[in-house]
Amino acid sequence: MQVDSVFIRALGAFLPESVPPPAPDEQSSEAGGLTGALVAGEVAPPELAVRAVRQAFERGGVDPAEISLLLHASVFHQGPDGWLPPAYIARETLGTAVPAIEIRQGCNGLFSGLELAVDHLAADGSRQAVLLTSAENFDNPLVDRWTAHPGSYLGDGAVALVADRSGGFARLRSLATVSVPELEQLHRGTRPLFPPGATSGQKLEFGARAKEFGELNLVPDGQQRLAKARDEVLARVLAEAGTELDEVAWVVSMNNSRPHVAKRLIEPLGLPMSRSGWEYGRGFGHLGACDQFVTLERIVAAGRVAPGDKVLMLGVGPGISIGGAVVEILSVPAWN
């Protein structure tokens, strides 16, 4: 969709210490390029999100009373079963009666959240701002963060952004999300739908599931379908933003190893790796739905943007869902 008058007013992140992998592997090799993953210890994801929100509010001068909706995107377990993390985040940071809703769209969660935020603001002219958060902590007996997700490590951290209709340091120019449902089983493999894996002690092993799916050969042209959907999303958000690819200053995606980012995104676009945000996340690990917006925060904080710069963003999550957006930098915030 072409987006009018929705801005990123504030952006914050909480990033714990980066820890190197316990042993050399393909991903930490010179070719892979990864240096480690962020590890938060025993700090729960909702608390990580609270810390990111507080930074965003301070940076943007945000009054909690301006927020009319809170959306929290999550991937892994966030706390006690049957309990919802957005309520905790709302109590700790807003203290108001606005709806606080969790989004379960995997690593594509914040793109889906932004679509909901845009619609929420457009539906009522009295609404000013939406708070979006995401946070993960993979320090869990069911997860080996170094092997669970081929092409990346799994890292802990949080991000928070305020989408505001009155202004901000960046403008959301376009946004799109599509699904490739025929590839749903890629992230499930042959695992049963019931009982849930966590209740029966099954480990999170995306590589094994993908191998099982491949051996079934249910969708022989799966990679081609995925690439086609990715290209369609990117072409759509560029066109709706009125932007050509050569006008894009940065391309940001997930915190994967260098070959994954290069071969699945940067090279198909005909761009050099120097225009990707890969360098900023190589020591973070894959932070669930946080990656793209943490990278944006890091690029801005490092002073690597200027007014008029366009940032092309891509997200992929189980389902499969693919999200894309174009963000235009309007000014360099004082916190950079």
pLDDT tens profile 207-240: 999 999 999 999 999 999 999 999 999 999 999 9
Where do the structural domains in the chain lie, given as residue ranges? 7-168, 173-329
**What would the mean pLDDT of 82-99 be, rounded to a whole number?**
97
The pair of three-digit structure tokens given for residue 164, joined into one six-digit string: 């505001």
What homologous superfamily is domain 173-329 in, according to CATH?
Thiolase/Chalcone synthase (3.40.47.10)
Cβ distance 315 to 289 under 8 Å? yes
- In degrees, rounded to 5, the angle at the alpha carbon of residue 42 between the alpha carbons of residues 37 and 43 is 85
* E-only strand ranges, the chain: 7-14, 18-19, 37-38, 67-73, 100-103, 129-136, 157-164, 170-179, 248-252, 310-317, 321-329
Query: Which residues have a Cβ under 8 Å from the Cβ of 198 and sit 6 or more positions away?
Result: 77, 142
Return the pLDDT at 141.
94
Nearest partner of 68 among 3, 132, 134, judged by Cα: 132
DSSP H helices, 160-221, are: 206-216
Identify whether 272 is preceded by a cis peptide bond (ω within 30 of 0).
Answer: no
pLDDT digits (tens, 9 = 90+) for 249-291: 999 999 999 999 999 999 999 999 999 999 999 999 999 999 9
State the Cα–Cα distance between residues 176 and 184, nearest whole angstrom.
19
What homologous superfamily is domain 7-168 in, according to CATH?
Thiolase/Chalcone synthase (3.40.47.10)
Percent of the chain with pLDDT over 90: 99
Cβ distance 159 to 133 under 8 Å? yes
Task: Give the Cβ contact number of residue 313 at 10 Å.
Answer: 26
pLDDT digits (tens, 9 = 90+) for 281-324: 999 999 999 999 999 999 999 999 999 999 999 999 999 999 99
Do the first three CATH levels of 7-168 and 173-329 match, i.e. the same topology?
yes
pTM above 0.75, yes or no: yes
Cβ distance 177 to 195 under 8 Å? no
Cβ distance 258 to 294 under 8 Å? no
Measured between its terminal Cα atoms, the distance across the chain in Å is 29
Return the pLDDT at 336.
76
State the Cα–Cα distance between residues 213 and 191, nearest whole angstrom.
10
Q: What is the torsion angle, in degrees rounded to the nearest 10, for the CA atoms of residue 281, residue 285, residue 291 and residue 294?
A: -50
pLDDT digits (tens, 9 = 90+) for 137-168: 999 999 999 999 999 999 999 999 999 999 99
